């Protein structure tokens, strides 16, 4: 399949494009870079969506969005987070609609665990009712734009992605300096749940949803074994052979990061119910195995 990948130069996209190419697909990357260079595995990269004919594509994987964990959530930052997701998705859906009968038959669009908001200790499935808050509002608006593609006939899959782990980016790369110095530890009480997933499994889910024509609707994209923040901290310490016992008080996190600190303290015990029921198999379901593969 010829696949348009938005956000293909990002943390997940950089790993996805080679995987798609290895499977015989032709990924074309849409990027904000002024002079785009295709990442590894991509057939080409473009900066202008209008330069592409939607009738020549079979599917879209939509990963675009400004990093949510970069900087405090000022009003300006919130507008950027919303615009980079909602407006990009709106443009992609309108572009898909230009092809009418031809063109992409599938839209695989990113969302995030933030859709659910604070959920405490209870397990979260795709049917769980969300809690109000900025992250829910952001993800819900993002998903609504993606779902509009269904009016043209394509099937739409929404990936509510957890915390993606790999050593060269994302949340883990931000944690490593402190942990390698032996200064890592649980955040706040450490009792809140941490919905992690290995980057290789996110890539595999993207490809599985692309190739499984029966798949549609929302999917929780996280490992089937969520852990608390304290459990994750201990596992990361074991993987790095470093102590991980210095807690960071909740009050300090709120002082440092403001409203954005909720990303570090919210509890989401998310389970990939639909993926498991429909036959997807995780390569890294165990956190210790996942971290061992990352640091081997």
Q: What is the CATH number of the domain that holds 31?
A: 3.40.50.720
Instruction: Return the closest-CA partner of residue 181 out of 251, 236, 253, 263.
Output: 236
> What is the C-alpha to C-alpha distance for residues 274 and 280, in angstroms, rounded to an integer?
9
Q: pLDDT value at position 287?
A: 97
Q: pLDDT value at position 34?
A: 65
170-180 vs 229-240: helix crossing angle, rounded to 10: 60
**How many domains does the chain contain in total?**
1
Parallel/antiparallel/unpaired status of strands 193-194 and 227-228: antiparallel
> What is the C-alpha to C-alpha distance for residues 49 and 57, in angstroms, rounded to an integer?
12
Mean per-residue pLDDT, 211-231? 97
Mean per-residue pLDDT, 40-69? 92
* pTM of full prediction above 0.85: yes
* Structural domain harbouring 68: 2-295
The torsion angles phi and psi of 291, rounded to 5 degrees, stand at: -70, -35
The label of the residue with tokens 């979260």 reads 124
């Amino acid at each position: 399949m010829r696949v348009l990948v938005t956000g293909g130069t990002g943390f997940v996209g950089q790993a996805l494009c080679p995987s798609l190419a290895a499977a015989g697909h032709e990924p074309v990357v849409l990027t904000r870079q002024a002079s785009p260079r295709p990442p590894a595995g991509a057939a080409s990269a473009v900066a202008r969506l209008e330069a592409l004919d939607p009738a020549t594509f079979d599917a879209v994987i939509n990963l675009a969005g400004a990093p949510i964990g970069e900087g405090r959530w000022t009003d300006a930052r919130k507008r950027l987070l919303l615009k980079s997701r909602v407006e990009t998705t709106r443009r992609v859906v309108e572009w898909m609609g230009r092809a009418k009968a031809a063109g992409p038959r599938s839209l695989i669009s990113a969302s995030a665990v933030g859709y659910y908001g604070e959920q405490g200790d209870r397990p979260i499935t795709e049917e769980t009712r969300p809690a109000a808050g900025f992250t829910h509002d952001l993800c819900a608006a993002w998903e609504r734009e993606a779902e509009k593609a269904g009016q043209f006939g394509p099937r739409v899959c929404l990936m509510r992605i957890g915390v993606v782990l790999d050593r060269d980016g994302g949340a883990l790369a931000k944690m490593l300096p402190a942990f390698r110095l032996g200064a890592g530890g649980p955040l706040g009480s450490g009792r809140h749940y941490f919905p992690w997933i290995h980057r290789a499994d996110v890539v595999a889910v993207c490809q599985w949803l692309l190739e499984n024509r029966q798949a549609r609707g929302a999917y929780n994209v996280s490992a089937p074994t969520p852990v608390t923040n304290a459990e994750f901290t201990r596992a990361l310490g074991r993987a790095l052979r470093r102590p991980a016992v210095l807690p960071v008080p909740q009050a300090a996190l709120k002082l440092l990061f403001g409203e954005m600190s909720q990303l570090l303290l919210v509890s989401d015990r998310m389970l990939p119910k639909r993926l498991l029921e429909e036959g997807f198999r995780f390569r890294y379901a165990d956190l210790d195995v996942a971290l061992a593969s990352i640091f081997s």
